[in-house]
Structure 1
Amino acid sequence: MDMQMPARSGREASELEQRRLCKIASSPHAYVRGSTAQFYELIAAMPAGSLPEGPAVWICGDAHLGNLGAVAGPDGRIDIQIRDLDQTLVSNPAFDLVRLALSLVTAALNATLPGIVTARMMDAMAVGYADGILDPDHAEQDIAESEIVATTRRRALGRRWRHLSRERLKGKDARLPRGNRFFDLDPAEQAAFEALSRDPEVHRLVLALGGAEAGAEIRLLDAAYWIKGCSSLGRLRYAGLVEISGGARPHLALLDVKEAVPFLAPPAPGADMPADAAARVVAGARALSPNLGDRMVAANFQGTPVTVRELMPQDLKIDAEQFSRGEAVRVSGHLAAILGRAHGRQMSANARRSWSDTVRAPGQGADTPGWLWSAVTDLMGAHQRGYLEHCRRIAREDLAA
């Protein structure tokens, strides 16, 4: 970091927006990940009946490839679940399946895989998702395991605090490294973060996850504004480094404080959800991703609803920007099964059977339902056009600069 640069200069709204725009211009897949609002605008513009109406359940709302991965539970268990629930709400589960399919197909095109592989991926997604709905506890046991998913799980199992420290803290143990990602707080923010760290619910969460002994305490060592992700750029995002003392040996924990935002998908009619955005995210996480939901609390930061969670070294996103033909099909079926499990365990047995039949209704491919094939191919064309227009805008702004 240039030491002559003001500590908060990287937080300017215009700079964060420019960073976000450039990030989603990096590839068609990045554009799909960063254009959730456009996705739902396109869904809303489809003719009535284009998508079936599934049982009203908690959905991710933004179930793209990057939002699934290894998630550690409070008891140390590691599962592949949904990692980001910012857009969660009670709605139509078809939205999640279409969003995941669009993301996977776009990733396949990025990997220059032929169209016949895309068709087989769609078939595998329909089968995997339907199996996940019907057997939410054991569906993954009966499908071909993806090597990408298996590798992610193995890597997660071997990770410890030192790995998280090296990646996030540059090996430091008492201060968050200032630079391109971490920036100083102003006095009001610092006071608000200190108050947040003393919140009884946050205190309970950190001590429970750390396996602390009775009477243990937490002490805030450092806090900073955190530039992270894509959709969260420009919104409140903070990191806090805390020390847990009172046990045999003091140890550290890293807190992620994230602004809770309104959802973009249309809610199910009469959906019963918390009015507070942070409470809604926690409720959705507990329904869809228990490992993550049990590690989150809803709080308030200077009048803004936020979620607070402790980052675990075992939390890893799935890195699948490049894959072979066979692996593309396997990872599609595997991730769709995980999504189907998350939806299916919220449904009654009758609802599971009915929704599974709808998903398995044959269409263009051997197993792909016609509505899924049509929705994804139409969305692909619209997103490709949108991506090129976005890149042209970025190129013109660079030239103007």
Structure 2
Amino acid sequence: MFSNVRPDKRKPTLAQRQHQKMAESAHAYVRGNTARFYDWLASKSVQAALPQGPSVWICGDCHTGNLGPVSDLEGNIDIQIRDLDQTVIGNPAHDLLRLGLSLAMAARSSDLPGVTTALMLEEMIGGYLIGLAGRTERVDLKEVQPIRSVLVAAKNRQWRHLAQERIEDVKPNIPLGKKFWTVTEEERSELNSLVEGDGFRQLLQTIGGKEPKRVELLDAAYWMKGCSSLGNLRFAVLMGVGSKKHPEYRLLDIKEATLTAAPSAKGAKMPKGYADRVVAGACALSPFLGERMLAATICRRPVVVRELRPQDLKFELVGLEQSEAIAIARLMAGVVGRAHGRQLSREERYAWSHELKSRHGKGLEAPRWLWSGVLDLAALHEAAYLDHCRRFAMRQRRA
């Protein structure tokens, strides 16, 4: 259906694919529609009900698919935020609310009872507070098989696994077809200019620990990947670094940076360039990822260059058991808490923690702002998802 697509046919094909992906499940619809979340959040009554946290870099699109294992330059693995397209300096409560919505929809997609969602949101706050304090809670991975299996896979993965998964080959080329499409002459020229630039060489030096003697663009393709970002520029670039006979391969993800739907805090000082903002947010929230990223320009559009590593994976949360869902909620909230907390002083962490605790009821009760917000958002997205499916089905019938 989506074979190698000519450049002039990309837009309608990408739009069709986006509609299709968002129709796959209510959870997929939530992941692919950040704008609807922030449209709801813009209400003055909603804003008044939320706790006002310190202004820090936030993910801006903090759903379960955007958290996962990533590797640093030495090969150490940690679970961090792995997609920063929407990152801004803003209210950390926004990340908590969007994560809560995503977890609730994941529970729904796994046919778990409503009480599970209540338990998940309760555990979220506990996990977040532990992470905010800079501590890492030891989670029994036997209780969270979807997390354990991915982490085990991440530790054992090498270049051949990345190549086979991403480009379906270990040979130095990107096979055109369903996911990878032909680039234009202008795009290839721009990509060549990028890899010949000083900024790119500096990135490779940071990654490899030394200045590369030889850098060659072996192959490049337009990459149909993602959901909410479909329609923006995205390229897969295969690089050869070092000896021509025995090169080291680097696979790069080059992704267009755009205006965010996430609102920034009043008076927040952020880089003006979209790509510079993404890299700055990544360095603050996910240092393992930020050190492998570069802001650049392709075809007069801002892009973020990211080196892909075999360990960079994402969690697929389907078919969850109740105990798994609750443990995952606590674990993921802890990841977000550490990402926010590392930007704050001890006094600021204490004040934000105190604000969250002051809104927490006694016994088994998630904070009212979190529970009511997730409840409203789940109902809103469920209705919008069904309407999207209806419209998508009608388009399919006409086609």
1:75, CA displacement in angstroms? Answer: 1.7
Q: Which residue of structure 2 aligns with residue 366 of structure 1? A: 364
Quick one: which amino acid aligns to residue 265 of structure 2? A
1:267, CA displacement in angstroms? Answer: 0.8
Q: Does 2:265 match 1:268?
A: yes
Change (3 A) 1:105 1:139: same
Q: Secondary structure at the match of 2:42?
A: helix
The equivalent position to 1:292 in structure 2, one of 273, 289, 293, is 289
1:172, CA displacement in angstroms? Answer: 4.3
Could you tell me which runs of 5 or more consecutive residues in structure 2 were left unpaired when the two chains were aligned: none
Q: Which residue of structure 1 aligns with residue 398 of structure 2? A: 400
- In the alignment, the residues of structure 1 paired with residue 160 and residue 101 of structure 2 have an alpha-carbon distance, to the nearest angstrom, of 36
Q: Does 2:246 match 1:249?
A: yes
Give 1:1-400 correspondences, 5 Å limit. Answer: 7-8=6-7, 11-45=9-43, 47=45, 48-134=47-133, 136=134, 138-141=135-138, 143=139, 145=141, 146-211=144-209, 216-246=213-243, 249-360=246-357, 361-363=359-361, 366-400=364-398
Q: Secondary structure at the match of 1:317?
A: coil
Kept in 2, the 8 Å contact 1:144–1:334? The answer is no
1:12, CA displacement in angstroms? Answer: 2.3
- In the alignment, the residues of structure 1 paired with residue 28 and residue 363 of structure 2 have an alpha-carbon distance, to the nearest angstrom, of 27
Q: Secondary structure at the match of 1:299?
A: strand
- In the alignment, the residues of structure 1 paired with residue 171 and residue 222 of structure 2 have an alpha-carbon distance, to the nearest angstrom, of 18
Kept in 1, the 8 Å contact 2:183–2:222? The answer is yes
TM-score (norm 2): 0.94
- In the alignment, the residues of structure 2 paired with residue 316 and residue 264 of structure 1 have an alpha-carbon distance, to the nearest angstrom, of 25
- In the alignment, the residues of structure 1 paired with residue 328 and residue 239 of structure 2 have an alpha-carbon distance, to the nearest angstrom, of 37
Quick one: which amino acid aligns to residue 58 of structure 2? I
- In the alignment, the residues of structure 1 paired with residue 226 and residue 379 of structure 2 have an alpha-carbon distance, to the nearest angstrom, of 25
Q: How many residues align?
A: 395
TM-score (norm 1): 0.94
Change (3 A) 1:322 1:358: farther
1:91, CA displacement in angstroms? Answer: 0.2
Quick one: which amino acid aligns to residue 341 of structure 2? G
Deviations 1:99-134 (A, max 9, x none): 001001100011001111111111110110111112
What's the % identity of the aligned pairs?
A: 45
Kept in 2, the 8 Å contact 1:215–1:246? The answer is no
- In the alignment, the residues of structure 1 paired with residue 160 and residue 31 of structure 2 have an alpha-carbon distance, to the nearest angstrom, of 30
Deviations 1:306-339 (A, max 9, x none): 1101110110001212211111100000010110
Q: Secondary structure at the match of 1:225?
A: strand
Kept in 1, the 8 Å contact 2:201–2:211? The answer is no
- In the alignment, the residues of structure 1 paired with residue 88 and residue 368 of structure 2 have an alpha-carbon distance, to the nearest angstrom, of 26
Quick one: which amino acid aligns to residue 375 of structure 2? T
Q: Secondary structure at the match of 2:176?
A: coil
263-272 or 361-370, larger mean C-alpha shift: 361-370
Kept in 2, the 8 Å contact 1:221–1:243? The answer is yes
Kept in 1, the 8 Å contact 2:205–2:212? The answer is no
1:299, CA displacement in angstroms? Answer: 0.6
- In the alignment, the residues of structure 2 paired with residue 26 and residue 315 of structure 1 have an alpha-carbon distance, to the nearest angstrom, of 24
Change (3 A) 1:15 1:182: same
Q: Secondary structure at the match of 1:12?
A: helix
- In the alignment, the residues of structure 2 paired with residue 364 and residue 64 of structure 1 have an alpha-carbon distance, to the nearest angstrom, of 27
- In the alignment, the residues of structure 2 paired with residue 6 and residue 161 of structure 1 have an alpha-carbon distance, to the nearest angstrom, of 27
Deviations 1:213-262 (A, max 9, x none): 55521111111111111112110001111111149931211111110111
- In the alignment, the residues of structure 1 paired with residue 85 and residue 362 of structure 2 have an alpha-carbon distance, to the nearest angstrom, of 33
Q: Secondary structure at the match of 2:137?
A: helix
Q: Secondary structure at the match of 1:266?
A: coil
Quick one: which amino acid aligns to residue 91 of structure 2? N
1:293, CA displacement in angstroms? Answer: 0.3
Kept in 1, the 8 Å contact 2:107–2:117? The answer is yes
Quick one: which amino acid aligns to residue 115 of structure 2? I
Kept in 2, the 8 Å contact 1:159–1:313? The answer is yes
Q: Secondary structure at the match of 1:257?
A: strand
- In the alignment, the residues of structure 2 paired with residue 324 and residue 61 of structure 1 have an alpha-carbon distance, to the nearest angstrom, of 28
- In the alignment, the residues of structure 1 paired with residue 362 and residue 392 of structure 2 have an alpha-carbon distance, to the nearest angstrom, of 37
- In the alignment, the residues of structure 2 paired with residue 242 and residue 70 of structure 1 have an alpha-carbon distance, to the nearest angstrom, of 23
Q: Secondary structure at the match of 1:219?
A: strand
Change (3 A) 1:374 1:363: farther
Quick one: which amino acid aligns to residue 344 of structure 1? G
Kept in 1, the 8 Å contact 2:293–2:304? The answer is yes
- In the alignment, the residues of structure 2 paired with residue 163 and residue 170 of structure 1 have an alpha-carbon distance, to the nearest angstrom, of 9
149-158 or 264-273, larger mean C-alpha shift: 149-158
Kept in 1, the 8 Å contact 2:160–2:170? The answer is no
- In the alignment, the residues of structure 2 paired with residue 113 and residue 284 of structure 1 have an alpha-carbon distance, to the nearest angstrom, of 34
- In the alignment, the residues of structure 2 paired with residue 178 and residue 272 of structure 1 have an alpha-carbon distance, to the nearest angstrom, of 42
Quick one: which amino acid aligns to residue 12 of structure 2? S
- In the alignment, the residues of structure 2 paired with residue 218 and residue 367 of structure 1 have an alpha-carbon distance, to the nearest angstrom, of 56
